[in-house]
Structure 1
Amino acid sequence: MKKSLLTGFTISLLYCPFTQASGLYLYEVGTEDVGLAGAGQAARAQDAATIVSNPAGMTRLKGNNLTMAGQALYGDVNYSLDNGGKSPGNVVGWFPGASTFYSHQVDDRLSVGAGLYGNYGLGLHFGDWAGSQLIKDSTLLALTFQPVVAYKINDHWSVGGGPGINYGLFSLNRSTDNGDQKTDDHDWALNGKLGILYELDKDTRFGLTYTSKTQYHFDVKTDVILNRLPGSPTYSLPLSAAVNTPQQLMLSAYYQLSAQWAVLGDLGWQDWSEYSTSETSVAGQSAQSQQRLQDTYHVAAGVQYQATDDLRLNTGVAFDSSFYKNQSDTSLTMPSGDAWRWGVGANYQLDPQSSLGTAFEYMKMESSTVQNAALGGTYDDPALYFFTINYNYRF
C-alpha cells in the first residue's frame, strides 16, 4: 500500500516506546522512566514496565507485578511559512496515552509477561492554512501487544525477549474544491525485542536491549496538486523514512551508591541512515537533497534518591542527536533536530504491595527549516511536555 504522509510526521514526533528522540523514537509511555528522562531504562528493572525497556529485567521481579500508567502530552510545535501565506501555527496540542504491563514469576529462573501500550500516535491540526489541500486534520492511533519471556541463566546473566504485535489506525482530512475529504486506513506490523541483563553484584547492573524496526503501510494518496498556489505544483513526500522506524540499541547502567542514592545512565543508537535516500519533490523537481539522514545517538544520566522508606525521588537529563545532517534542509512532515530532555518524578510506597508514581518531563528540540518553494518555512524551537501518573502492584 502507499504510505501516508502524515504517518511520517506522527512517527517522527511520537514513536518510541523509547523513545526514542530525534526520530522521534520516544521513550515516554507513562512509567517511572519519564522522571529520569529515560536514564537507566534498560537496567533499572524496578517494576513490570521493564517489559518495554528490557524484558530480561523481569527476572529481578518477585511474584506477580502489575504496572498501569497514564500520560498526557502537550506539543508546542509551531510551523511558520516563509512566503507570507497563512501558517498553521501549533500543529500538535494535547494528546493522551496509556499503558499496562504484567509480569509473572514462574520459578526462580523463569518469568513471563506481557505489555499493552500505545508507543506512538498523535492528533494533528493544521487547520485552514496555505497547505490545507495537503493536510488539514489527522489522527494516528497505535497499540502494541508485546508478550515476553525472560530466563535467569545464573546469578549474573539474564536474557529476555518477544515479538511486538502492532496495530495502527490512521485518519487524514484534507481540503478540496468540493469540501473536506477524509481518508481512513489501518495496518498490522511486527517487530521484535531482545534484552540482556548483567548483574555484577547486588549494587551494579547493566542492560542491553535491541529493538528491530517497525513498518506500517497506510493506503493514502501522497501526491497532491496544490492548485491554490501559483503554478499549481504537485507535492510529493518522502515515504521510506516517514513510515519506517529504524532498529535501535540501548545500553544502560544502574549503580547503588548508598542506601539512599543511585545513579543511572544510557548510551543509545538508532539506524536512521538506512532511510537517507528519501527526498521531497515539487513539480517533479527534487526539493531536498538525497543522503539527508544520519544515524542518531543518545546519552542520558539520572539519579534516584530514597528520601524516606516510602518516598523515592527521580531526576534525569538526556540528549539525542538529530537525524538530519543539515537542519536547514529538513522535511515538512518530519520536524526534528537535536533534542534535550529534563525529567523529575516521585514514587510513593502506599503499602507493602502497592506504590503510586508521578513524573513530568520537558523536551526541547532544535529548530528546523523546510526548503520548499511552495510551503517552505520553519519549525521554531518545538517542545513537548509530558505529564504522567502510574500505579504498581505486587501480589
Structure 2
Amino acid sequence: MSAPSASASGLSFYETGGPEVGLAGAGMAARAQDATTILGNPAGMTHLAGDQISAGFQVLAGNSRYAMHDDATLDGNNPGNVLSPLPSASVFYSHSIDDRLKIGVGAYGNFGLAAHYGDWAGAGLVKDAGLIAFNLQPTVAYRVNDKWSVGAGLGISYGYFSLNRDAAGGEQKEKDYDWAANAHLGVLYDLDARTRFGLKYTSETRYDFAIDPQLSFSHTFRPVPDGAGVTVSRSWTLPLAAMVNSPQQLMFSGYHALNEQWAVLGNLGWQDWSRFGDSTIEAAGSEVSSGNKLQDTWHAALGIQYRPNEKWRFDGGIAYDTSIYQRQSDTSLTIPTGAEWRFGVGAQYRLDARSTVGAAFEYLRMQGSSVQNPLFKGEFETGHLYFFSANYAYTFD
C-alpha cells in the first residue's frame, strides 16, 4: 500500500481508493457512511451499525512535463513528464463494542511523492526522488449523546525515501526509512436526522531521513551560443522538509439529506505548509535565492449524492485547493504542484443487505509553475492527473 505522486496542493492526498474519489473528497469529515470515516473523521464510526470493513484500490496516472528555458545554465535534455503511474490501496475496519462505543483500525497510504526525471541535463541534481508512506491507524469513537460524538486515532507511519542522481563515480543512490506518529482527532454534531457537521484535526507527520540534502557537482555550459564550454561548480539544497513531511491540517465538513434521494456535502479545509522551508541555491559560492517559498493552503469542496432506488447511489463532486507556493513563478523543481481543481464521479451498488461494491473516477487539473533557479530554469506545464478506483464494503453480524 503506497502513496501516489505529488498532489493535493502538496503531497498529502484525500484519495485512498474509497467512495471519496467520486465525491472529490466532499463531506469527508461528516459523511460517516462506511468504515473509511476512520480517516475522514474518527467520530463518524458512531454512525456505523455493527462491524464493517471497507477496502479500496486505486491507480493514479498523469502528466506533468518540465521544459528548461534557453537561458538555463544546464545544457542538455529536458526531463519531460516527471510523474509515473502508481497504485495504492486501503483497508478500514470498524467494530461496535456497543451502541455508543466503537473501535477500529485503518491501513492506508495518502501521502507521498514519486518523481522521475531520468537522464536529463540535471541528472547530477536528481534523477529519481521517491517517498512511500504506509499508515496504520488504531481508532476509538464514543457517542456522548444524541447530538455529539467524539473520536481519536493514533497514526503510526512508516516512510521510505530514496534519491538517485549522477556522480563522478557513477549513479549515486541514497535511501533511508523512518517511523513517525501523528494524531487524528474528530468531533461530529448531528443537528437532526438529516443534517450533521464534522471537524477533523490531523497533526504534523515529521520524518527524519539520513539523506544529504546538499548537492555539489560540476558541469559544463556555454555562456554564449556556439561559444566554448565553461566548467563551473554548483551547489543546491533539496527542499527536504517539504518533500518528506506532512503538515498539520483541519477539515470542516457538512452533510445534509434533502430527501430520500438527494444529499449535498461540503468541505472547508486548511493545511500548514508554511511551516516547511524551501531550498537555498548557491552558484559559484554566491547565494542566488533562499527563504521560504511556501504558504498555507486552503481547500473547498462541494458534492452531491443521488439514490434512484435501494440498490444504487451515484456520487459527484468538485474541489479546489490553493497552491503551497507564494508565487507560481518561483517554485521548486522537485515539488511540481500548484493550485488544483478536482472533478469526481462515482457509483455504489448494493449487492445484498451486507455488501456493496463501487467504482469512481477523478480528474485533477494542476496549475503550471516556473522554476527560477539559474541552473535549470524552466516551466512545468499544466498537470493532468487521473484517479481510477474500486471499492468494496461489507457489514458483519
SS at match of 1:57: helix
User: Which stretch of the first structure deviates more once superposed, 378-387 or 76-85?
Assistant: 76-85
Q: Aligned residues: percent identity?
A: 53
How far the C-alpha of 1:382 sits from its partner, in A, is 1.2
2:158 alignment counterpart: 167
1:109 alignment counterpart: 100
Number of residues paired by the alignment?
379
Contact 1:249–1:269 (CA under 8 A) maintained in structure 2 = yes
TM-score (normalizing by structure 1): 0.92
What CA distance in whole angstroms lies between the structure 2 residues aligned with 1:238 and 1:141? 17
What CA distance in whole angstroms lies between the structure 1 residues aligned with 2:297 and 2:162? 29
1:74 alignment counterpart: 61
Matched, 1:190 2:181: yes
Q: Report the CA distance shift for 1:366/1:131 in structure 2 as closer, same or farther (over 3 A).
A: same
Correspondence list, 1:1-395, <5 A? 13-14=6-7, 21-82=8-69, 83=72, 85-230=76-221, 231-275=232-276, 277-283=277-283, 284-395=285-396
What CA distance in whole angstroms lies between the structure 1 residues aligned with 2:90 and 2:243? 25
Q: Report the CA distance shift for 1:257/1:287 in structure 2 as closer, same or farther (over 3 A).
A: farther
> Gaps (5+ residues) in structure 1?
1-9, 15-20
Residue by residue, what CA displacement relative to the aligned partner does 1:180-236 show, whole Å, maximum 9, x if unpaired? 222221100111110000011110000000000101122122222231244121122
What CA distance in whole angstroms lies between the structure 2 residues aligned with 1:243 and 1:196? 28
Q: Report the CA distance shift for 1:123/1:244 in structure 2 as closer, same or farther (over 3 A).
A: closer
What CA distance in whole angstroms lies between the structure 2 residues aligned with 1:229 and 1:304? 58
Q: Report the CA distance shift for 1:315/1:176 in structure 2 as closer, same or farther (over 3 A).
A: same
What CA distance in whole angstroms lies between the structure 2 residues aligned with 1:119 and 1:380? 24
User: Amino acid of the residue matched to residue 265 of structure 1?
Assistant: G
User: Amino acid of the residue matched to residue 282 of structure 1?
Assistant: E
What CA distance in whole angstroms lies between the structure 2 residues aligned with 1:322 and 1:138? 21
User: Amino acid of the residue matched to residue 158 of structure 1?
Assistant: S
SS at match of 1:216: coil
Contact 2:32–2:44 (CA under 8 A) maintained in structure 1 = yes
What CA distance in whole angstroms lies between the structure 2 residues aligned with 1:62 and 1:287? 59
How far the C-alpha of 1:164 sits from its partner, in A, is 0.4
What CA distance in whole angstroms lies between the structure 2 residues aligned with 1:127 and 1:240? 23
User: Which stretch of the first structure deviates more once superposed, 345-354 or 22-31?
Assistant: 22-31
User: Which stretch of the first structure deviates more once superposed, 266-275 or 143-152?
Assistant: 266-275
Q: Report the CA distance shift for 1:392/1:295 in structure 2 as closer, same or farther (over 3 A).
A: same
CA root-mean-square deviation: 1.6
User: Which stretch of the first structure deviates more once superposed, 381-390 or 281-290?
Assistant: 281-290
How far the C-alpha of 1:368 sits from its partner, in A, is 0.6
What CA distance in whole angstroms lies between the structure 2 residues aligned with 1:58 and 1:351? 22
SS at match of 1:232: strand
How far the C-alpha of 1:122 sits from its partner, in A, is 4.3
Contact 1:45–1:60 (CA under 8 A) maintained in structure 2 = yes
User: Amino acid of the residue matched to residue 375 of structure 2?
Assistant: A
What CA distance in whole angstroms lies between the structure 2 residues aligned with 1:162 and 1:334? 29
Contact 1:110–1:149 (CA under 8 A) maintained in structure 2 = yes
User: Which stretch of the first structure deviates more once superposed, 43-52 or 117-126?
Assistant: 117-126
- Higher CA-based Rg: 2
> Gaps (5+ residues) in structure 2?
222-231
Contact 1:229–1:374 (CA under 8 A) maintained in structure 2 = no
